[in-house]
Amino acid sequence: MEIAREGAAALVTEMARTTWESVRAAVARFFSWGGEEGVDQELRLIDGAQQRLADARQGERAAVEDRLRGELVIQLAAFMLKHPEAAQELRDLAGQVQGAGEGSGARTSVHNNTNSQVVIADGSINASGGFHYGTAGGGQ
């Protein structure tokens, strides 16, 4: 039940952010433990909850978030009763969401970028002189 509480809190937090769509994909993977039909049913409930939060007036948001946390605890706990093997995935999802919320900046992962450079800046970059890069040995 504790993991259901953690998962519900993480989901409600993410529902209020602009990053919800990327988290929704991870939620779909979690619910895939119940099969394709189960994913659709569970996501309809999740999407409805997210829409209620999005539609809530600013003064009502805290109360709506509390209600949604309670609803999601029940939904997640019921799902894990049927699919206990999914518990670790929910733990991982809650941990990722909580970890992402700890920093103030965006998080970026770059994969399979062979023979390229990735530049990530928290501000302006002036490339009027061009970008020059090479290997540690001096080649390019």
pLDDT by position in tens, the chain (length 140): 788 999 888 888 888 887 788 888 889 999 999 888 889 999 999 999 999 999 999 899 999 999 999 999 999 999 999 999 999 999 988 888 766 555 544 556 666 666 666 666 655 666 666 665 555 555 54
Q: Chain-wide mean pLDDT for the chain?
A: 80
Query: What is the pTM (predicted TM-score) of this model?
Result: 0.65
- The DSSP-derived string for the chain is -HHHHHHHHHHHHHHTSTTHHHHHHHHHHHHGGG-HHHHHHHHHHHHHHHHHHHHS-GGGHHHHHHHHHHHHHHHHHHHHHH-GGGHHHHHHHHHHHHHHHHSSS--------TT------SS----TT------TTS--
Q: Using CA atoms, how far apart are residues 9 and 72, in angstroms rounded to an integer?
A: 8
* Amino acid letter, 22: S
Reported as a single tens digit per residue, the pLDDT across 17-28 is: 877 888 888 899
Reported as a single tens digit per residue, the pLDDT across 108-124 is: 666 666 666 666 665 56
